[in-house]
A and B are shown apart, each in its own frame.
Chain A
Amino acid sequence: MSAGILIAILLAAPALAGFAAILVRSPRAAEALNLAASLVSFLCALPLPFLVASAGETFLGGYVAVDRAAAWVVLCTSIVYLLASIYAVGYMRLLGEDRRLHWFYALFAGFGLTTLAGPFMNNVGIYWIAIELTTLVSTFLVAFEHAAESMEAAWKYIMVVSAGISLALLGTVLFYWGGSFVLGPTYDMTWAALGGAAPKMNHAVVTLAYLLVLVGYGTKVGLAPMHSWLPDAHSESPAPVSAMLSGALLNTAMFGIFRFLGIAKAAGLGAFPELALVAFGTLSLLVGALFIVRQQGIKRLMAYSSIEHMGVVALGFGFGGPLGIAGALYHMLNHSLNKSLMFFGAGNVMRAYGTKEIGRIRGVLRHFPAQGLLWLAGAVAITGAPPFGLFLSELTIMRAGLKPSFAWAVYVMAALLIVIFIGFLNHFRAMYWDAEAAGDAPSRKTSAWSAVPMWLALAPLLVLGLWWPADLWSYLASVAQSMLPGVS
């Protein structure tokens, strides 16, 4: 089957499921529709990286395009969408909101659709619209529980991200303006056209436009200091939505930064584009580390961990070279799997103990031996310990940075990762082995719906940590090559 048909099915499935969910108005049918759509999307996304030639293909008059980087990001997204859809079945039934549940699944499928569609957008302006739409759809998912806290989180989310992303639009317009001196007043603003015109563009315009785009999409990625919406939105939304926000949405926005980084490098700005990204990445790690150590909310802990990991991905792209780019893309996949696992575990624990406060969650291992171990393994993995995938990808990114210009960033990164390792696992030590207060026993038993996606996330994580297939490596390295002509 050709890549074009697969992309059509991949995007049609969540779109149809979303509309059907509104029409049927039955919570059980809506959850089945969404689950089926996510499964179809995943099955279509799985072979996509193998079908795409390294040069990429375009469809629909050049508005839709797929290359190896896009296929990879979409694969990460579709995995999270599938896992979150499985988990949502069990989790959302417990919320007791069956009356509105079809709306939840319609929005959830819409969220899946927009995050899956974003990387395929070949026109820079349309990509911006796709990212904007992800915000609008997910705002209502964040606000779904109608608690005062989730309203506040949703408001801050849409406000901060819309304002931030308008900077990306300004940057996009400036890029178009810069290109119009090379390509004439009217041209199709595709990634390839901008990249092709970049070497002849004016440096001042490209610098300004690149910084605006970096800050704009960086807001959406949650790079510090534009991260302020992220802990609120991630902690107050229902757990499956948190997983989607963290594992899928952040990657989709990071993909834009990746594309613009390629354009800025092609424009010949020297080391500046990478340096800017490395600076944001380091700052994100620092903010993540500081807030993880003293964190009191379990889901906020996971949210700050997302900021940290997006910082790591930014560092990987910033360090550059085949090692850096491949490491960062690999890290995206590992983080998507692992953060889904962590949010699912956090959701289960939150339901069981009826609180988000780490201080009131005690004796997890005694009450939930199997799931507790699973979650603990995930916690060890997310802090970058072997034998899990994140260890490999973080190590690769560090190796990429070991060159005179960025060695300082590698040392800072190593130190902060150690701080995060200690701080993060200390919370888990407290939750697992600290003495319990009397009368605090967790109530509800969790169903298979909530355990299965955790296993599904952990298994590949372990495999990817022990075995990085040579084909996968050459695939990711070819993405690096296609992005950086002539850069070692």
Chain B
Amino acid sequence: MPIQHLDPLASSLFGLLAILSLLLAFVMLGSRWLKNYLYAFAAESWAIALLSAAIAYYGHYPELYLVAALTLLFRGLILPYLVWRIIQRLDVAREVRIILQPSSAMVIGAFFVMFALSVSYRIASDFHLELTIAVLALTVMLSMKLIGFLMLAVRHEAISQVLGLLVLENGIFLGSQILVPGMPLLIELVVLFDLLIVVACFGVLVRYLQAHVGTTSSLDLKRLTG
């Protein structure tokens, strides 16, 4: 499926799902409640799973149906469930101390999207792809990356940081589905499994943090300096 000769319907469907994922990243950026982050993350994963299925259908990549199913299962169900279990065990429902107001965070996020757009446009114009879905894919990929880093920087609860990390990964996954749908299946599967292990490790570590340090807020992790 050369990206230049994409069916307009398919192109707009991909665009819609990519924009939806980006919007959900902003939902995460604009909220203070851990549960909201989690729901937004799960919804984002479903959008990406749908995107994989759409690409499989329109681009004739049958193996992407498997990726779509596994994305739905892992990123859409198991990961949110694991994180939900961690939240249940903690008595933290929201970010207590605000480093950056959600509204300011969203404005910064908007600037990130503009920056990502200009970078993507510059790159895509080198390939004469500036009028295709490639620009959007690159933009969403880079801006979700930047938003994820913003969340890591301004959120201090352990769970929000884990979710910020997952947003980083979601961005890459989304972009790679559109840009390089032909990427060997093995790699995508291994990355999916890898993510599961990552979250399991984080779960253990959050429990340790609570038991041995007595806090899950990174603001209190300041013993080691210099």
Interface string of A166-181 (1 = CB under 8 A from B): 1101100100110011
Q: Give every chain B residue within 8 A of A189 (Cβ-Cβ).
A: 183-184, 187
CB < 8 Å neighbour of A188 from B148, B184, B202, B221: B184
Q: Give every chain B residue within 8 A of A429 (Cβ-Cβ).
A: none
Q: Are A300 and B226 within 8 A (Cβ)?
A: yes
Interface string of A134-178 (1 = CB under 8 A from B): 001001100100111101111110110011001101100100110
Instruction: Please classify how large the interface on chain A is, using the bins under 10, 10 to 19, 20 to 34, 35 or more.
Output: 35 or more
B19 within 8 A of A: no
CB < 8 Å neighbour of A139 from B175, B191, B205: B205
Closest chain A CB from B133 CB (angstroms): 13
Closest chain B CB from A178 CB (angstroms): 9
B152 within 8 A of A: yes
Q: Give every chain A residue within 8 A of B1 (Cβ-Cβ).
A: 185
Residue of B168, B169, B171, B183 with most chain A CB atoms under a 10 A cut-off: B183
Q: Are B165 and A166 within 8 A (Cβ)?
A: yes
Closest chain B CB from A171 CB (angstroms): 10
B123 within 8 A of A: yes
CB < 8 Å neighbour of A126 from B149, B165, B187, B208: B187
B9 within 8 A of A: no
Q: Give every chain A residue within 8 A of B198 (Cβ-Cβ).
A: 132, 136, 162
Q: Are A173 and B179 within 8 A (Cβ)?
A: yes
Q: Are A155 and B184 within 8 A (Cβ)?
A: no
Contacts known (A129-B190, A132-B194); A181 close to B127, Cβ less than 8 A: yes
Q: Are A204 and B223 within 8 A (Cβ)?
A: no
Q: Are A155 and B205 within 8 A (Cβ)?
A: yes
Q: Give every chain B residue within 8 A of A402 (Cβ-Cβ).
A: none
Q: Give every chain B residue within 8 A of A156 (Cβ-Cβ).
A: 221, 224
Which residues 193-226 in B have Cβ within 8 Å of A in the complex? 194, 197-198, 201-202, 204-205, 208-209, 212-214, 218, 221, 223-224, 226
Q: Give every chain A residue within 8 A of B204 (Cβ-Cβ).
A: 140
Closest chain A CB from B158 CB (angstroms): 7
> Who on chain A is nearest to B142 by CB?
A170
Which residues 182-232 in A have Cβ within 8 Å of B in the complex? 184-189, 202-205, 208, 231-232
A125 within 8 A of B: yes
Q: Give every chain B residue within 8 A of A181 (Cβ-Cβ).
A: 127
Residue of A177, A208, A297 with most chain B CB atoms under a 10 A cut-off: A177
A480 to B151, CA, bound (A): 42
Q: Are A162 and B122 within 8 A (Cβ)?
A: no
The A interface, classified by DSSP as helix, strand, loop or mixed, is helix
Contacts known (A132-B194, A155-B158, A162-B198); A208 close to B145, Cβ less than 8 A: no
Contacts known (A158-B202, A159-B152, A169-B172); A202 close to B223, Cβ less than 8 A: no
B182 within 8 A of A: yes
A166 to B151, CA, bound (A): 15
Q: Are A208 and B172 within 8 A (Cβ)?
A: no
B38 within 8 A of A: no
A246 within 8 A of B: no
Q: Give every chain A residue within 8 A of B126 (Cβ-Cβ).
A: 202-205
A406 within 8 A of B: no
A167 to B161, CA, bound (A): 16
Interface string of B135-177 (1 = CB under 8 A from A): 0000001000100110010000010010011001101100110
A143 to B208, CA, bound (A): 9
A284 within 8 A of B: no
Q: Give every chain A residue within 8 A of B218 (Cβ-Cβ).
A: 155, 159
Interface string of A95-117 (1 = CB under 8 A from B): 00000000000000000000000
Closest chain B CB from A50 CB (angstroms): 32
CB < 8 Å neighbour of A186 from B182, B190, B197, B221: B182
CB < 8 Å neighbour of B122 from A123, A187, A204, A291: A204
CB < 8 Å neighbour of B184 from A129, A186, A236: A186
Closest chain A CB from B99 CB (angstroms): 16
A297 to B158, CA, bound (A): 27
A396 within 8 A of B: no
Q: Are B168 and A166 within 8 A (Cβ)?
A: yes
A180 to B183, CA, bound (A): 9
Q: Are B161 and A180 within 8 A (Cβ)?
A: no
CB < 8 Å neighbour of B224 from A146, A153, A173, A184: A153
Q: Give every chain B residue within 8 A of A202 (Cβ-Cβ).
A: 123, 126-127
Which residues 431-481 in A have Cβ within 8 Å of B in the complex? none
A26 to B163, CA, bound (A): 38
Closest chain A CB from B34 CB (angstroms): 17
Q: Are A151 and B226 within 8 A (Cβ)?
A: no
> Who on chain A is nearest to B129 by CB?
A181
Q: Are B165 and A162 within 8 A (Cβ)?
A: yes
A235 within 8 A of B: yes
CB < 8 Å neighbour of A205 from B123, B152, B176, B187: B123
Q: Are A170 and B145 within 8 A (Cβ)?
A: yes
Q: Give every chain A residue within 8 A of B202 (Cβ-Cβ).
A: 158
Residue of A123, A125, A154, A181 with most chain B CB atoms under a 10 A cut-off: A125
A173 to B168, CA, bound (A): 13
Closest chain A CB from B182 CB (angstroms): 4
Residue of B141, B149, B187 with most chain A CB atoms under a 10 A cut-off: B187
A291 to B148, CA, bound (A): 30
Q: Are A151 and B183 within 8 A (Cβ)?
A: no
CB < 8 Å neighbour of B179 from A166, A177, A208: A177
Q: Given A151-B213, A154-B205, list of 11 further CB < 8 A pairs?
A: A136-B198, A146-B212, A148-B214, A151-B212, A156-B224, A163-B168, A166-B165, A169-B172, A181-B127, A189-B187, A231-B224
Task: Across the A-B interface, give the 10 residue pairs with the lowest CB-CB distance, nearest first.
Answer: A185-B182, A186-B182, A125-B187, A152-B221, A232-B224, A166-B168, A173-B176, A148-B213, A177-B179, A151-B212
* Contact sample, A vs B, 11 pairs, CB 8 Å cutoff: A143-B205, A148-B223, A153-B224, A159-B152, A163-B152, A166-B145, A170-B145, A185-B182, A186-B182, A187-B182, A188-B184
